[in-house]
Structure 1
Amino acid sequence: MFKKLSAALLAGTFALAACAADQQDGVAPGSATDPATVQVVRTALKNLAPGVRFDEIAPSPLPGFYQVIASGQLVYVSTDGKYMLNGDVVDLGAKENLSDRAWAGFRKAQLAKVPASQRIVFAPPHPKYTVTVFSDVNCGYCRMFHSHIKQLNEEGIAVEYLAWPREGVTDTAGLPTNTYKEMVSVWCAADRKAAFTAAKQGKAPKAADCPNPVKDEFDLGVKLGVTGTPMIVGPDGMVLGGYVPPDKLLKLLEKGS
């Protein structure tokens, strides 16, 4: 397990280097952390995965452990640095997955940093709910989800898209992937919403380039644990699923409000 986790942590390290720059110490803002314990936890994980970059280290609800978010994973490390748990912590009394709740708080805080100008937004005049969707212009389920965009808006749901090219930003030769280039063209289009919808219908956008957030949003997705598209994130930071039809999505949002 250690080898598997170590490889997974290292795999995300380089993709997250830019994203992690704003919080390189890894200490969760406002948390009651003990600096000495944080250092023990950091050292223990760096011995396991030397290149790992930390996004958040904070006391966990599990006594004797700190929770660590790093390279798109959440793990628990004992305060003496001897043990690591890779799995969910569930409060049996409250019947609540505390790991999901920790992820949700982290996602919500990170997504709040993304300016509206860097999103492609489809919203009704007065939305009841707003979801963030990491999306690829070519994936089948992403296209299926977007085919319901009118109904979603009619249900009072605003959809804010972030770019997440499933092929990644570069290929094995270090060249931009076709999907990445297509998504850059969408984000650089004069009418991004029209270009986005056309791409979802299989109509490739006119090639364009400009300062754009596609790579940053891809890196953010990796940081937040995105592994496929679409990934729908609710207002509270909880993941609501991949492809979810409008009626089911509305029920999930109503349940969570």
Structure 2
Amino acid sequence: MVMLKKLLLALCIGSFSLSACAAESGAAPVVAPTITPAAVQMVQQAIKGLSANIQVDSIDPAPMPGFYQVIAGGQMVYVSTDGKYLMHGDLIDLGKHQNLGDAAWSRFRKDELAKVPASQRIVFAPAHPKYTVTVFTDVNCGFCRALHEHVAEFNKAGIAVEYLAWPREGVTSTSGRPTPTYTEMVSVWCASDRKAAFTAAKEGHAPKAATCTNPVEDQFNLGLKLGVNGTPTIIGPDGSTLGGFVTPDQLLQALQKGS
């Protein structure tokens, strides 16, 4: 899949042009399918046919005729309007050199993250931030720890960092018991001074064991829903992903480019 993606992009982004990469000026306009209740039911049945446990989160007309663009189980797929076919992978506009799934993913992430209350985040922010990013993090992840070492520099650059919990081990082990990292992150989120406990955990100091009503499991599941598969995952104000470990300068440049 990675090699195919590189080959497709190379064909259109190379130093020479191919007529196949240009949109046909005389092409007929594409009529987008309507998202009716019947269409929603059809798509849900198609997805459930693969697995009864997959939740369909978003259904939109696809940028290509005859298909719906669907976000389900942290993946983007394309389901034909007759429910017979499903495609998984990147949809590339050869004329514009764009991945047509990116915009839909960004909108979906932005909308879902807006539902997370500020009180459930661990926030490191300057007095008047120019930008705010959301970071799904694990307190024991090496790159997550390296990123947090620069949090003061991020803030100095005008970037607020809002952390959400994403224990890479998951919430429970195969035995059904809570994983060590999940338990540790619950203790951080339940600490009287969450920011201090969070920073200490990033430095390798386990927090004092604590339990309370906490959002750690919900945030882990939200990450899965948004396609998170590793930490750190940085999401910009518009819902786009901005990478994993980045330096303050790299993150600032990415945010400036996207604004």
Q: Deviations over 1:113-144 (max 9, x none)?
A: 00000000000001010000000000000000
Could you tell me which of 65, 68, 72 is aligned with 2:67? 65
Q: Shift in Å at residue 32 of structure 1?
A: 5.1
Q: Deviations over 1:210-232 (max 9, x none)?
A: 11100000010011111110000
Equivalent position SS for 2:79: strand
Provide the C-alpha distance between the structure 2 equivalents of 1:205 and 1:47, rounded to a whole number of angstroms. Answer: 44
Name 2:258's counterpart in structure 1: 256
1:175-190, aligned counterparts within 5 Å?
A: 175-190=177-192
- Matched residue count: 228
Could you tell me which of 74, 92, 112 is aligned with 2:114? 112
Could you tell me which of 192, 195, 207 is aligned with 2:194? 192
Name 1:208's counterpart in structure 2: 210
Could you tell me which of 101, 125, 128 is aligned with 1:126? 128
Runs of 4+ in structure 1 displaced over 3 angstroms?
A: none
1:1-257, aligned counterparts within 5 Å?
A: 33-257=35-259
TM-score, normalised relative to structure 1: 0.86
Q: Are the equivalent residues in 1 in contact too, given 2:121–2:164 (CA < 8 A)?
A: yes
Letter of the 2:55 counterpart: R
Q: Shift in Å at residue 60 of structure 1?
A: 1.3
Equivalent position SS for 1:43: helix
Q: Shift in Å at residue 95 of structure 1?
A: 2.5
Letter of the 1:222 counterpart: L
Provide the C-alpha distance between the structure 2 equivalents of 1:114 and 1:50, rounded to a whole number of angstroms. Answer: 27
Letter of the 1:102 counterpart: A
Equivalent position SS for 1:125: coil
Q: Are the equivalent residues in 2 in contact too, given 1:104–1:237 (CA < 8 A)?
A: yes
| Consecutive unaligned residues in structure 1, runs of 5 or more | 2-30
Provide the C-alpha distance between the structure 2 equivalents of 1:110 and 1:139, rounded to a whole number of angstroms. Answer: 24
TM-score, normalised relative to structure 2: 0.85
| Consecutive unaligned residues in structure 2, runs of 5 or more | 2-32
Provide the C-alpha distance between the structure 2 equivalents of 1:206 and 1:113, rounded to a whole number of angstroms. Answer: 29
Q: Are the equivalent residues in 1 in contact too, given 2:47–2:56 (CA < 8 A)?
A: no
Letter of the 1:153 counterpart: N
